[in-house]
Amino acid sequence: MLATVPSLRRNRSAASAATDDPWGDLMAAAQLGNAGAYTRLLTEVDGWLRRYYARRLPVSMVEDAAQDTLLTLHTRRHTYEPGRPFKAWLAGIARYKWIDRLRALDRDPAGHGAEDISEDIAIDDHGPAVMSALLLHELLNQLKPAQSEVIRLVKLEGLSIEEAAERTGQSASLVKVNMHRGLTRLSHIVATDVT
């Protein structure tokens, strides 16, 4: 009787693992050629994507973002590994498509429905962080590569001057000089943009 208890536990955990990721199960079946499973998966995922983008984008962009993500899911479906969490895989694709939309909105606000943005749109907690990261990336790209690199390493990643020197091949004093000049240049860029 003791020998059967572990096998029962394994069977229960295998059964619960199969039901923990129904979309993963549908995708695995779709990869094996089950068209019905694929249709059901796309229908359910479409609803989830629309809710995901409705919290993050202007209303006029939600449908296009969802369709674009479904198209990417379709073309990349062979990269999904059965047994891995499907929703995490899907969320990764959705996040990249969301960031693409934010970049497009930043490049051409009038052409992408920016006038539809209202104060009532709920924004996920990551929205301000993504926008700040994009702004910081743009600012750092205006510096010389050596300056930008040491600022990223020391100020953003938290490396010491010596660690940054080792990683970049610059002397410690050159790292300090590049960081000082880069930060001075950033201050000048920001001050110029504000005035």
pLDDT in tens, 56-91: 888 888 898 999 999 988 888 888 999 889 998 998
Percent of the chain with pLDDT over 90: 28
Would you say residue 19 has pLDDT above 80?
A: no
Collect all residues with Cβ–Cβ distance below 8 Å to 132 and sequence separation of at least 6. none
175: nearest Cα among 146, 136, 144: 146
Residue-averaged pLDDT of the chain: 78
Amino acid at 189: I
Mean pLDDT score, 110-136: 55
CA dist 140 and 142 (Å) reads: 5
The pTM of this model reads 0.47
Specify burial of residue 98 (Cβ count, 10 A radius: 0-12, 13-18, 19+). Answer: buried
Could you tell me where the beta strands, DSSP code E, fall in 27-166? none
- The rounded distance, in Å, linking the Cα atoms of 104 and 112 is 7
The predicted pLDDT at position 105 comes to 74
| Residues 83, 27 contacting (CB under 8 angstroms) | no
Whether pLDDT at 99 is above 50: yes
pLDDT for 195 equals 47
Which residue in the block uniquely carries the two structure tokens 């004093």?
173
Which residues neighbour 171 within 8 Å (Cβ) at sequence distance 6 or greater?
A: 165
pLDDT at 3 over 90: no
The more confident residue out of 150 and 108 is 150
Q: Which residue has the tokens 């390493």?
A: 153
Query: Mind listing the domains of the chain with CATH numbers?
Result: 8-114 (1.10.1740.10), 126-194 (1.10.10.10)
The dihedral sign for the CA sequence 42, 46, 47, 53: positive
Examine the pLDDT at 135 and tell me if it is beyond 50.
yes
Mean pLDDT over residues 160-166, rounded?
91
Residue 24's contacts (CB-CB under 8 Å, 6 or more residues apart) are: 80, 82, 83, 84, 85, 86, 87
Q: What integer is the mean pLDDT of 110-137?
A: 56
The 10s digit of each residue's pLDDT in 172-189 is 999 999 999 988 888 887
Q: What is the tens place of the pLDDT at every residue in 26-52? A: 999 999 999 899 999 999 999 999 999
